[in-house]
């Protein structure tokens, strides 16, 4: 049966010129039909038809080698493991006549639990780049990436464009599981195509990726069906095999398939290549951040707060338009009798913001990256050479670039990517952690920063500002020419 499935996408060969009886040709042609409904529904059914042919021709009827009945597994046992496995290419079940092995919530956008803020300026950017093959929405946690993708999905749906949605999980690091989930997502908008893809996946084993993806691309191209595939939480994927699937779709696909990806990192996304081809729409934290009007709408409609314009501007400035910080700040401001005074004290040291960053950012960091972040938080801006002096790490420049690529609240401030700076709230949070976890290092780090300020090769183009351990509000500013101000 697997052999017949392998050739169902090819034209049926002419069997009748080789001397085969018509009844035999009829059975074989039905088994190779391109219409799944016309084929035998199981290997047993196909075998029974062949047995009837043997009997009609007076031949000895062969027995079928069928497996013994296997006890039904419990639901828990039938679910795939989402952790490491010794066989990362274990083939999942892809039968689409039975319930999916994944919850249906993975194949639709998350339902909003509060009013959504109108992001017209971002939707306009997405519309302007709609023809481009890849839209990458990447930023640190809490910048509204999935929410924006869901809003864009609704806009496309209103325009009559089919949108398949797939929320990635850690089990998608198994490439065959990813393909299974991809097929299930396609099923929501192209049911007939998904059945064909599922059969190909079952029959081709280790070569499944190429056959499934080629069939998907060819079908979209031949039918000229404009389709958008949205992949949410791509940062969960680290497997080179799964990353290669996205790369294949982008490299070999056509303009009938647009792919929208949301991610907390830039890793696993061919941004530079797609940018060079003018096939990229990129929305990062600098674009996703709320402007003052959006912050005002958020605080009014979501937080139920009606603040003075100046207070909104101050809060927007201190949070840098970070939606998660605005949400946490609004919870604190609701019961405040003095919102202006509280806004002045909402920084990365605020307990709610600190807890959020600890749970969603620090928990993902390797120890060496955490130590690097702490040491380089001593100054307002950081360069590779300055970071190398502070940390003793000769790879400091590479570390800064990797941290920026991982969207860990670090951005370059010049085109040469010499100088970088952390998000203000993340910087305050790191300094609070430095005081808590490594207080003995603070005087030495200040001493190194002060010495470095006098070395032109280290900071000739920018003064170094670093905060003293005695107070948070004051600042020490060092420059090559004047020293301490």
Concatenating the DSSP letter of every residue in 287-353 gives HHS--HHHHHHHHHHTT-----HHHHHHHHHHHTT-HHHHHHHHHHHTT-S-HHHHHHT-STTSHHH
d(CA 57, CA 358): 76
According to DSSP, residue 167 is labeled: E
Same domain, 162 and 257: yes
Q: pLDDT of 89-112, one tens digit each?
A: 444 444 433 345 578 889 999 888
- Give the domain extent around 41: 2-56
Contacts for 460-463 with beta carbons within 8 Å, 24 or more apart?
461/418, 461/419, 462/381, 462/383, 462/419
Beta strand 134-138 pairing with 280-283: parallel
Four-residue CA torsion sign, 172, 177, 182, 184 = negative
Q: Determine which of 10-24, 91-105, 170-184, 338-352 has the lowest per-residue pLDDT on average.
A: 91-105
94 falls within a domain: no
65 falls within a domain: no
Following DSSP, what letter does each residue of 402-426 receive, concatenated? HHHHTTSSEEESSTTS-EEEE-HHH
pLDDT top residue among 483 and 413: 413
Lateral strand order in the sheet of 464-466: 464-466, 476-479, 483-484
Same domain, 42 and 110: no
State the pLDDT at residue 336: 81
Asked whether the predicted pLDDT for residue 446 surpasses 70, the reply is yes
pLDDT top residue among 466 and 439: 439
Q: What pairs with residue 257 in β-bridges?
A: 227
Same domain, 280 and 342: no
Q: Output the CA–CA distances (angstroms, integers) from residue 405 to 208, 326, 367, 369, 399, in the order listed.
A: 31, 24, 18, 13, 10
pLDDT band at 474 (very low <50, low <70, confident <90, very high): very low
Tokens of 98: 């039975």
199 falls within a domain: yes
Asked whether the predicted pLDDT for residue 484 surpasses 50, the reply is no
Query: What average pLDDT does range 54-83 have in this prediction?
Result: 55
Query: What average pLDDT does range 361-386 have in this prediction?
Result: 94
Q: Determine which of 1-15, 181-195, 230-244, 302-316 has the lowest per-residue pLDDT on average.
A: 1-15
Phi, psi (rounded to 5 degrees) for 382: -140, 140
Tokens of 339: 């919102």
CA 3 to chain centre: 36
d(CA 407, CA 412): 11
Q: How many domains does the chain have?
A: 4
Of 50-54, 149-153, 457-461, which one has max mean pLDDT?
Answer: 149-153
pLDDT top residue among 21 and 321: 321
pLDDT top residue among 478 and 42: 42
393 falls within a domain: yes
State the pLDDT at residue 161: 94
State the pLDDT at residue 113: 78
User: Do 224 and 230 contact (CB within 8 A), yes or no?
Assistant: no
Asked whether the predicted pLDDT for residue 131 surpasses 70, the reply is yes
pLDDT band at 3 (very low <50, low <70, confident <90, very high): very low
75 falls within a domain: no
Same domain, 299 and 284: no
Phi, psi (rounded to 5 degrees) for 39: -85, 160
State the pLDDT at residue 86: 35
pLDDT band at 32 (very low <50, low <70, confident <90, very high): confident
pLDDT band at 457 (very low <50, low <70, confident <90, very high): very low
Same domain, 326 and 261: no
Q: Determine which of 92-106, 152-166, 289-303 has the lowest per-residue pLDDT on average.
A: 92-106
User: Do 72 and 27 contact (CB within 8 A), yes or no?
Assistant: no
Same domain, 314 and 390: no
Q: What is the CA radius of gyration of the chain?
A: 29
Asked whether the predicted pLDDT for residue 134 surpasses 70, the reply is yes
Q: pLDDT of 323-353, one tens digit each?
A: 999 999 998 888 788 888 888 888 889 999 9
Phi, psi (rounded to 5 degrees) for 216: -60, -50
d(CA 377, CA 447): 14
Mean pLDDT of the chain: 82
User: Do 374 and 429 contact (CB within 8 A), yes or no?
Assistant: no
pLDDT top residue among 344 and 404: 404
pLDDT band at 455 (very low <50, low <70, confident <90, very high): low
Query: What average pLDDT does range 406-425 have in this prediction?
Result: 93
d(CA 80, CA 73): 12
Q: pLDDT of 106-120, one tens digit each?
A: 999 988 877 889 999
Beta strand 419-422 pairing with 280-283: unpaired
pLDDT band at 203 (very low <50, low <70, confident <90, very high): confident
Same domain, 339 and 448: no
Same domain, 406 and 339: no
User: Do 448 and 373 contact (CB within 8 A), yes or no?
Assistant: no
How much of the chain, in percent, has pLDDT values that exceed 70?
Answer: 82
402 falls within a domain: yes
Buried b (16+ CB within 10 A) or exposed e, 161-172: bbbbbbbbbbbb
Same domain, 116 and 31: no
8 falls within a domain: yes
434 falls within a domain: yes
How much of the chain, in percent, has pLDDT values that exceed 90?
Answer: 51
Same domain, 311 and 453: no
Following DSSP, what letter does each residue of 215-237 receive, concatenated? HHHHHHHHHT--EEEEEE-GGG-
The conformational region for residue 306 under phi > 0 = left, psi -120 to 50 = alpha, else beta, is beta
Query: What average pLDDT does range 447-467 have in this prediction?
Result: 61
Query: What average pLDDT does range 197-215 have in this prediction?
Result: 78
Q: What is the CATH number of the domain that holds 404?
A: 1.10.10
According to DSSP, residue 37 is labeled: G
Q: What is the CATH number of the domain that holds 157?
A: 3.40.50.300
Same domain, 269 and 145: yes
Q: Determine which of 142-151, 360-369, 457-466 has the lowest per-residue pLDDT on average.
A: 457-466
Query: What average pLDDT does range 223-227 have in this prediction?
Result: 85
State the pLDDT at residue 339: 83
Same domain, 313 and 390: no
State the pLDDT at residue 249: 94
Helix (H) or strand (E) holding 12: none
């Amino acid at each position: 049966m697997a052999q017949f499935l392998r050739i169902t996408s090819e034209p049926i060969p002419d069997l009748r010129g080789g001397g085969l009886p018509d009844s035999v040709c009829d059975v074989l042609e039905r088994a190779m039909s391109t219409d799944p409904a016309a084929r035998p529904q199981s290997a047993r059914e196909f075998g029974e038809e062949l047995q009837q042919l043997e009997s009609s021709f007076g031949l000895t009827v062969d027995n079928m080698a069928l497996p013994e009945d296997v006890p039904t597994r419990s639901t828990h046992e039938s679910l795939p493991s989402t952790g490491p496995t010794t066989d990362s290419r274990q083939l999942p079940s892809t039968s689409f006549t039975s319930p999916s092995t994944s919850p249906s919530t993975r194949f639709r956008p998350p339902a909003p639990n509060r009013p959504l803020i109108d992001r017209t300026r971002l939707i306009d950017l997405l519309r302007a780049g709609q023809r481009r093959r890849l839209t990458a929405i990447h930023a640190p946690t809490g910048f509204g990436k999935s929410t924006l993708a869901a809003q864009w999905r609704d806009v496309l749906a209103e325009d009559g464009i089919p949108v398949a949605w797939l929320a990635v999980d850690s089990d998608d690091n198994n490439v065959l599981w990813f393909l299974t989930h991809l097929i299930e997502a396609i099923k929501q908008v192209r049911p007939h195509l998904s059945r064909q893809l599922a059969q190909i996946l079952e029959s081709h084993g280790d070569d499944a990726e190429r056959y499934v993806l080629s069939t998907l691309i060819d079908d979209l191209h031949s039918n000229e069906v404009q389709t958008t595939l949205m992949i949410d939480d791509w940062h969960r994927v680290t497997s080179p095999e799964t990353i290669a699937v996205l790369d294949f779709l982008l490299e070999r696909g056509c303009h009938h398939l647009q792919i929208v990806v949301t991610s907390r990192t830039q890793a696993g996304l061919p941004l530079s290549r797609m940018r060079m081809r003018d096939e990229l729409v990129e929305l990062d934290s600098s674009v996703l951040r709320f402007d003052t009007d959006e912050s005002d709408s958020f605080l009014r409609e979501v937080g139920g707060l009606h603040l003075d314009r100046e207070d909104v501007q101050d809060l927007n400035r201190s949070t840098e338009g970070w939606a998660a910080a605005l949400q946490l700040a609004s919870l604190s401001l609701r019961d405040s009798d003095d919102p202006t005074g509280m806004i002045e004290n909402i920084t990365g040291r605020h307990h709610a913001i600190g807890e959020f960053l600890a749970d969603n950012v620090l928990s993902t960091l390797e120890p060496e990256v955490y130590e690097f972040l702490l040491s380089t938080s001593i100054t307002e801006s950081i360069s590779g050479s300055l970071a190398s002096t502070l940390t003793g790490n000769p790879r400091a420049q590479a570390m800064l670039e990797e941290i920026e690529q991982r969207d860990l609240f670090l951005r370059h401030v010049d085109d040469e990517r010499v100088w970088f700076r952390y998000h203000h709230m993340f910087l305050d949070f790191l300094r609070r952690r430095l005081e808590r976890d490594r207080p003995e290092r603070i005087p030495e780090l200040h001493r190194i920063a002060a010495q470095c300020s006098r070395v032109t090769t280290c900071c000739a183009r920018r003064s170094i500002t670093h905060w003293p351990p005695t107070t948070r509000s004051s600042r020490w500013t060092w420059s090559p020419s004047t020293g301490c101000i």
